[in-house]
Amino acid sequence: MKIEKIVVGLYQENCYLIIKDNKCIIVDPGDESEKIISKIEKLKLNVLCIIITHAHFDHVGALNDVLDKYKVPIYYRNINNEIKYNNLIDVNEEKYIVDDFKFEVIFTPGHRNDCITYYFYEENIMFTGDFLFKGTIGRTDLEYASVSDIKKSLNKIKKYNNEITIYPGHGPSSNLKYEKENNVYLT
């Protein structure tokens, strides 16, 4: 599995392409749809689906354009009814298989009540959106945010193995061992 990070928009959001062979999953198409589509076309990838970690505009701003190009399912926790597409798969906390990709959905509210972490357990990688960053966590002072929820989510993530690489919605990647040892919110 290969991970391509495409940094997009004013807020420098991390859109990811999760790639196996010539197939991919798009994570959080936040902005600059032409940049995302250009990368997919350049790599000659077959898009299987889109996964959304949460519905802040900087994570879904390019969703319409990307869906116009690739008519694929969207995996997301639509508890606020903000994303309205016929091809939406409203996820539960369980394991999913999309072609050769296997992932677990983990509800990690706090930054928003719809926040999801996607754990690709065979590859030991997580896409944490704005829930968990290298050295910090997402803001909890916005609409649908909750300090008590993010504390519960952090306790849930602490139980996962230290070797998991995390890919956050902004900034550099990290791993859970580093975060458990250095992130004051996880220590």
Report yes or no on 46 lying in a domain. yes
Report yes or no on 187 lying in a domain. no
Could you tell me the residue range of the domain that residue 10 belongs to?
A: 2-182
Report yes or no on 70 lying in a domain. yes
pLDDT tens digit string along 81-119? 999 999 999 999 999 999 999 999 999 999 999 999 999
Domain count, the chain: 1
The predicted structure's pLDDT at residue 174: 98
- Mean pLDDT (the chain) is 97
SS3 of 8, please? strand
Alpha carbons 5 and 168: distance in angstroms, whole number: 10
pLDDT tens digit string along 15-40? 999 999 999 999 999 999 999 999 99
Max CA-CA distance within the chain? 44
Q: Yes or no: say if 52 and 74 are a contact pair by the CB < 8 Å rule.
A: yes
Report yes or no on 28 lying in a domain. yes
The predicted structure's pLDDT at residue 187: 81
Please indicate, yes or no, whether the overall pTM of this predicted structure exceeds 0.95: yes
The predicted structure's pLDDT at residue 51: 98
CATH label of the domain that carries residue 114: 3.60.15.10
